[in-house]
A and B are shown apart, each in its own frame.
Chain A
Amino acid sequence: MKRLLKNKFVAASLLFLAIDLIGSFAVLAPFLVMMRNKLDKSALALKLWPIISFDVVADIFLNEPYILAMGVVSAIVIFLIFTLLLTFFSGGIYNIIITDGGVGQFEHSFAGFLMNSARFWPGFLKTAILSIPIYLIAAFLGFSFGRLAAGIAFMFGVFVFLLFMLIASTYIQLLRVEMITSGSNSVVGAVRSSRSLISRSLLRILAGNISVSVAGFLIAFLLWMALRGIRSLNWSSLAAAISIVLQQLIVLAICLMQTLRINFNYTILKRGEENALGGTQLDRI
């Protein structure tokens, strides 16, 4: 178990999951408290399993605009604060993934983790801000081309949209990996130095990221099927507990997928540098 936890991919994925969980709980806390007050003794609470009934959604929408408004406002505020936290720790987690400790192991102290986090925080914060227009552009293009593709079949449209979002996410990851490897917090520098490599290895980057994503989503889908199986049972404390565990495993699978993508994008960047220096992966072997 200890050995497993020392695996950099597992450790990084668990850290991502922990940050996700804490952040999500914090963001939703005000809304959850208000919902608990509303539904605690109402029979509508019986309509929350296996999945929230539209009757409950409609009831909230029609009668609790202040809950929605306060929930949204507080969520935005907490999300902004949380983004600082997420970007802070992301630097440390990226460092763990990128560390070459041999066969995926890493040796870092918690202090070292915090130091690395702090060191790359300014750069990661900048990429987080940059990611807003990048995701918006990707969403716009994905929606536009997705609408065309949806003319063939609706699922094609969804696939095209997701593809554009994946491209945006990959670009953000490449910039961050570039910052870590170059030891610089300059976004402009990262954009410049990764530009030629991305153009040379575009297909390989796309193919790798799509492959890892497909594998990640496939595992998440299998877990989701198991979740659906549990949800088909009547509500009980045990069923509820198992479903929470399965939900967290699904998120962990996605986090693992992200970790592997970051690692893959790092190897592509690293290979480019070696090529620029005259070496190749084959040479090393």
Chain B
Amino acid sequence: MNFFASLCLSFAGGIISLSPEHPALYQIEARLDTADHRLYGRERIYFMNPTDNTLMQICFHLYPNAFRDTSSVMAREDESIRNSILGGRVSELTVGDIVIDGESVAPEAITEMGTLLYVSLSSPLAPSDTLGISLKFELTIPQTQTRFGYDELGNYLLSHWHPILCGYQEGKLVDNEYHANSEFFSNFSRYDVRLDLPAHLNVGSTGELFRVQEDSSKAVWQATADSVIDFAFACGPGFQHFESDTLGVRIHYLIRPQNAKYLQSADIMTKLAIAYFSDKLYRYPYSTFTFVDAPITADGLELPGMVVVPFPSRGPGSVRKMFFDLAVVHETAHQWFYASIASNEAEEPWLDEGLASYFTSKLVKDFGDTLGLIEIMRYKLSFSAIERVLALAPKAEYPINLKSWEYPDAFSYNTSVYERGVLVLQTLEKILGQAVFDSALTEYARNFRFRHPDSYDFKNAMISASELDLDRFFEQFIDGTARVDYSVRSLEFETIGLAGEKRYEINMTVSRELEGVLPQRITIGLADGSTIDTTWDGVSRKTAFKFESVSKPVYAALNEGDEYAIDENRSNDTLHLKSFGSRLISFEWDLIFIREFFLSLIL
């Protein structure tokens, strides 16, 4: 079934066009058997070759097979997943009866490798030509496995649950295995899904969802979703369904009864995040937003038009609230950086996780002290401070732009991609200036809405907005592992001039302690309250500055009040001529008091 350029298909009562940006159209019918925890489905796909090359084969992701046995790449890389598989939490996605353009595919044309299934085409698929594929599949659903499964109450979370065509980026097939740290990539598609479920389940999904048929034992649901890179749904008897709306977006909440009391909090944060990102980037890209409270994922999971955020049940209230709020904001940010600006999560995870984390921090900063703050016995601890420690503690061991599977473990992946990603983006924001950086990000987001940008696209967006040469910055901090520490080494002055016309010659030395190079703003604070300000390109290892003033110097500071978060040592950013000895006495007695207090408890 070959056509020219884009194809118009009669589909679900409408006309759907395929294009290189939206090359696939899925029609799925699936029946969930809750007794056996199995799902039986049929899938029809209309696929257009989005590349400039002739395709000899197509490829599917069978993500659930990462949990089929301990020989999978996922199981080999992650001990906890290996143990969970050994403990019986297995899943399997089997595919059969593959028919392409009306012809059954011979078994020898099918090759399964790990979580990938390659199907050789009997006739080559020319650029922009289209083919129709149909197949049957059967999914064994595991109990509470990574990112999908069912919980003890019989609630299901089904993401990446059906055979998904591997995506193409810049004309190249992205056929990555499902690694322990990897997330997902595929091209934008339209989905028309018919779900046959037990009648008593509450359901939420990607896209628009309607119950079209119901009897005493089963309910049939019809879902449609356009311009999405996957279709996910959640259902279960233990979910309560609530609805809300904001800015023309229908919000569905599937919440477990014990967490219903947090509904208001979830609703406030969700609406705040949708409004904030709609304002900063572009309008929320879908008509619906589904919020699922499921314990199946660790901290949160982004899906197209859907987020999964479990409610933390342990720990002090302010800690729980902060992590919950931030998880809601972070996952909602993924509706832009992942769902609709679909960079390759597996190969360049910093582009979605780093940007989603950066925007989470930005929202927290813009809303002051009320968010992102832990308060234990009145001791305030900001999330940004924790984030900075997590980002800098590994001493930039890995660049932020590695492929997800190139990080040796989850900690390295998280601290590099998420935390260091935020610091690098905040540093770029300071170099470009807030206004230019904001506008560059907005331009980037709008240009790549429903497209698949990569790091070069991001870099070009920053360069074109700022007209700065950012090669060194990207080499150092995105592709490299440069660390930053600048210090004020010395500050001295001499009296010059005659009595009555006293002037002071000020000599200061600044130095670059580590390899990272960033421009510095230097401030000399004077006794009369005024300041001398200058800049330094920060390139040389050590530089001396000489100033003259009518007032004595009091201190010297680098980037005063606006330090680079990526600068590892804050204590050497300033040098005062006066000692803070008396203030240190308070601090010293505080430590002695803490030590005394605990010692007195064991007398």
Q: Are the CB atoms of B599 and A20 closer together than 8 Å?
A: yes
Known contacts A32-B588, A235-B586: does B593 contact A251 (CB below 8 Å)? yes
Q: Are the CB atoms of B583 and A59 closer together than 8 Å?
A: no
Known contacts A20-B599, A54-B385: does B588 contact A40 (CB below 8 Å)? no
Give the residues in chain B near A240, CB-CB below 8 Å. Answer: 582-583, 585-586, 589
- The range of chain B's interface size is 35 or more
Q: In chain A, residues 234-264, which have Cβ atoms closer than 8 Å to a Cβ of chain B? A: 235, 237, 240, 243-244, 247-248, 250-251, 254-255, 258
Instruction: Tell me, rounded to whole Å, the shortest Cβ–Cβ distance linking A230 to chain B.
Output: 11
Q: Looking across the interface, which residue of chain A has its beta carbon closest to that of B572?
A: A42
Q: Roughly how many angstroms separate A71 CA and B385 CA in the complex, as a whole number?
A: 23
Q: Are the CB atoms of A48 and B572 closer together than 8 Å?
A: no
Known contacts A28-B595, A243-B586, A254-B601: does B389 contact A62 (CB below 8 Å)? yes
Q: In chain A, residues 52-101, which have Cβ atoms closer than 8 Å to a Cβ of chain B? A: 52, 54-56, 58-59, 61-63, 90
Give the residues in chain B near A40, CB-CB below 8 Å. Answer: 579-581, 584
Give the residues in chain B near A32, CB-CB below 8 Å. Answer: 588, 591
Q: Are the CB atoms of A154 and B596 closer together than 8 Å?
A: no
Q: Roughly how many angstroms separate A16 CA and B603 CA in the complex, as a whole number?
A: 8
Q: Looking across the interface, which residue of chain B has its beta carbon closest to that of A239?
A: B586
Verify if A136 is at the interface (C-beta below 8 Å from B).
no
Q: Are the CB atoms of B585 and A45 closer together than 8 Å?
A: no
Q: Are the CB atoms of A42 and B602 closer together than 8 Å?
A: no
Q: Is the interface of A mostly helix, strand, loop or mixed?
A: helix
Instruction: Tell me, rounded to whole Å, the shortest Cβ–Cβ distance linking A34 to chain B.
Output: 12
Verify if A184 is at the interface (C-beta below 8 Å from B).
no
Q: Are the CB atoms of B580 and A41 closer together than 8 Å?
A: yes
Give the residues in chain B near A44, CB-CB below 8 Å. Answer: 570-571, 574
Partner of A41 from the list B314, B381, B577, B596 (CB cut-off 8 Å) is B577
Q: Looking across the interface, which residue of chain B has its beta carbon closest to that of A128?
A: B602
9 new A-B pairs (CB below 8 Å) besides A16-B600, A35-B584, A46-B583?
A: A40-B580, A41-B578, A42-B572, A45-B587, A48-B587, A54-B386, A62-B568, A250-B593, A251-B593
Residues in A lying within 8 Å of B, measured CB to CB: 16-17, 20-21, 23-25, 27-28, 31-32, 35-36, 38-46, 48-49, 51-52, 54-56, 58-59, 61-63, 90, 131, 135, 150-151, 154, 165, 169, 228, 235, 237, 240, 243-244, 247-248, 250-251, 254-255, 258
Q: Looking across the interface, which residue of chain A has its beta carbon closest to that of B314?
A: A150
Known contacts A25-B592, A45-B580, A49-B583: does B600 contact A58 (CB below 8 Å)? no
Verify if B433 is at the interface (C-beta below 8 Å from A).
no
Q: Are the CB atoms of A247 and B593 closer together than 8 Å?
A: yes
Partner of A45 from the list B385, B572, B583, B593 (CB cut-off 8 Å) is B583
Verify if B59 is at the interface (C-beta below 8 Å from A).
no
Known contacts A24-B592, A42-B575, A44-B571: does B600 contact A251 (CB below 8 Å)? yes
Verify if B403 is at the interface (C-beta below 8 Å from A).
no
Instruction: Tell me, rounded to whole Å, the shortest Cβ–Cβ distance linking B573 to chain A.
Output: 8
Verify if B112 is at the interface (C-beta below 8 Å from A).
no
Known contacts A45-B580, A45-B584, A247-B589: does B316 contact A58 (CB below 8 Å)? no
Q: Roughly how many angstroms separate A136 CA and B107 CA in the complex, as a whole number?
A: 63
Q: Are the CB atoms of A21 and B596 closer together than 8 Å?
A: yes
Q: In chain B, residues 524-575, which have Cβ atoms closer than 8 Å to a Cβ of chain A? A: 555, 557, 568-575
Q: Roughly how many angstroms separate A243 CA and B585 CA in the complex, as a whole number?
A: 11
Q: Looking across the interface, which residue of chain B has its beta carbon closest to that of A258?
A: B603
Residue among A62, A165, A250 with the most chain B CB within 10 A? A62
Instruction: Tell me, rounded to whole Å, the shortest Cβ–Cβ distance linking B484 to chain A.
Output: 12
Q: Are the CB atoms of B393 and A61 closer together than 8 Å?
A: yes
Instruction: Tell me, rounded to whole Å, the shortest Cβ–Cβ distance linking B581 to chain A.
Output: 6
Q: Roughly how many angstroms separate A56 CA and B575 CA in the complex, as a whole number?
A: 16
Known contacts A40-B580, A240-B586, A251-B593: does B602 contact A135 (CB below 8 Å)? yes
Verify if B455 is at the interface (C-beta below 8 Å from A).
no
Give the residues in chain B near A150, CB-CB below 8 Å. Answer: 314
Give the residues in chain B near A58, CB-CB below 8 Å. Answer: 385, 388-389
Enumerate the 3 nearest inter-chain pairs by beta-carbon distance, A residue then B residue, closest first. Answer: A45-B580, A24-B595, A43-B574
Give the residues in chain B near A247, CB-CB below 8 Å. Answer: 589-590, 593, 596
Give the residues in chain A near B313, CB-CB below 8 Å. Answer: 151
Verify if B317 is at the interface (C-beta below 8 Å from A).
yes
Q: Looking across the interface, which residue of chain A has its beta carbon closest to that of B513?
A: A63
Q: Are the CB atoms of A21 and B586 closer together than 8 Å?
A: no
Q: Roughly how many angstroms separate A40 CA and B393 CA in the complex, as a whole number?
A: 24
Partner of A250 from the list B315, B386, B597, B599 (CB cut-off 8 Å) is B597
Q: 24 A-B pairs, CB-CB below 8 angstroms?
A: A17-B596, A20-B599, A21-B596, A25-B592, A28-B591, A32-B588, A38-B571, A40-B581, A41-B577, A42-B576, A43-B557, A48-B586, A51-B379, A54-B382, A55-B385, A61-B393, A63-B569, A90-B603, A154-B314, A169-B602, A240-B583, A243-B589, A247-B590, A248-B596
Residues in B lying within 8 Å of A, measured CB to CB: 313-317, 378-382, 385-386, 388-389, 392-393, 555, 557, 568-593, 595-597, 599-603
Q: Are the CB atoms of A23 and B599 closer together than 8 Å?
A: yes
Give the residues in chain A near B314, CB-CB below 8 Å. Answer: 150-151, 154
Q: Are the CB atoms of B574 and A42 closer together than 8 Å?
A: yes
Give the residues in chain B near A43, CB-CB below 8 Å. Answer: 555, 557, 573-574, 576
Q: Roughly how many angstroms separate A255 CA and B591 CA in the complex, as a whole number?
A: 18
Give the residues in chain A near B596, CB-CB below 8 Å. Answer: 17, 20-21, 24, 247-248, 251
Q: Are the CB atoms of B389 and A61 closer together than 8 Å?
A: yes
Instruction: Tell me, rounded to whole Å, the shortest Cβ–Cβ distance linking A248 to chain B.
Output: 8
Q: Roughly how many angstroms separate A41 CA and B557 CA in the complex, as a whole number?
A: 11
Q: Roughly how many angstroms separate A39 CA and B582 CA in the complex, as a whole number?
A: 12
Q: Are the CB atoms of A49 and B586 closer together than 8 Å?
A: yes
Give the residues in chain A near B578, CB-CB below 8 Å. Answer: 41
Give the residues in chain A near B393, CB-CB below 8 Å. Answer: 61-62
Q: Roughly how many angstroms separate A27 CA and B603 CA in the complex, as a whole number?
A: 17
Residue among B382, B392, B592, B600 with the most chain A CB within 10 A? B600
Q: Roughly how many angstroms separate A250 CA and B590 CA in the complex, as a whole number?
A: 12
Give the residues in chain B near A237, CB-CB below 8 Å. Answer: 582
Q: Looking across the interface, which residue of chain B has its beta carbon closest to that of A82?
A: B599
Instruction: Tell me, rounded to whole Å, the shortest Cβ–Cβ distance linking B325 to chain A.
Output: 18
Known contacts A40-B579, A62-B392, A240-B585: does B568 contact A21 (CB below 8 Å)? no
Known contacts A59-B571, A63-B571: does B579 contact A41 (CB below 8 Å)? yes
Q: Looking across the interface, which residue of chain A has its beta carbon closest to that of B587?
A: A48
Q: Roughly how many angstroms separate A20 CA and B602 CA in the complex, as a whole number?
A: 11
Give the residues in chain A near B589, CB-CB below 8 Å. Answer: 240, 243-244, 247
Q: Roughly how many angstroms separate A244 CA and B593 CA in the complex, as a whole number?
A: 8
Q: Roughly how many angstroms separate A44 CA and B378 CA in the complex, as a whole number?
A: 21
Q: Are the CB atoms of A48 and B389 closer together than 8 Å?
A: no
Give the residues in chain B near A235, CB-CB below 8 Å. Answer: 583, 586
Q: Roughly how many angstroms separate A240 CA and B314 CA in the complex, as a whole number?
A: 37
Residue among A16, A24, A36 with the most chain B CB within 10 A? A24
Q: Roughly how many angstroms separate A131 CA and B592 CA in the complex, as a whole number?
A: 23
Q: Looking across the interface, which residue of chain B has its beta carbon closest to that of A257?
A: B600
Known contacts A51-B379, A54-B382, A240-B582: does B602 contact A39 (CB below 8 Å)? no
Q: Roughly how many angstroms separate A61 CA and B581 CA in the complex, as a whole number?
A: 22
Give the residues in chain A near B555, CB-CB below 8 Å. Answer: 43
Q: Roughly how many angstroms separate A150 CA and B595 CA in the complex, as a whole number?
A: 27
Q: Are the CB atoms of B590 and A51 closer together than 8 Å?
A: yes
Give the residues in chain A near B588, CB-CB below 8 Å. Answer: 28, 32, 35-36
Residue among A54, A61, A243, A247 with the most chain B CB within 10 A? A54
Q: Roughly how many angstroms separate A56 CA and B381 CA in the complex, as a whole number?
A: 12
Q: Roughly how many angstroms separate A229 CA and B82 CA in the complex, as a whole number?
A: 54
Q: Looking across the interface, which residue of chain A has its beta carbon closest to that of B389?
A: A58
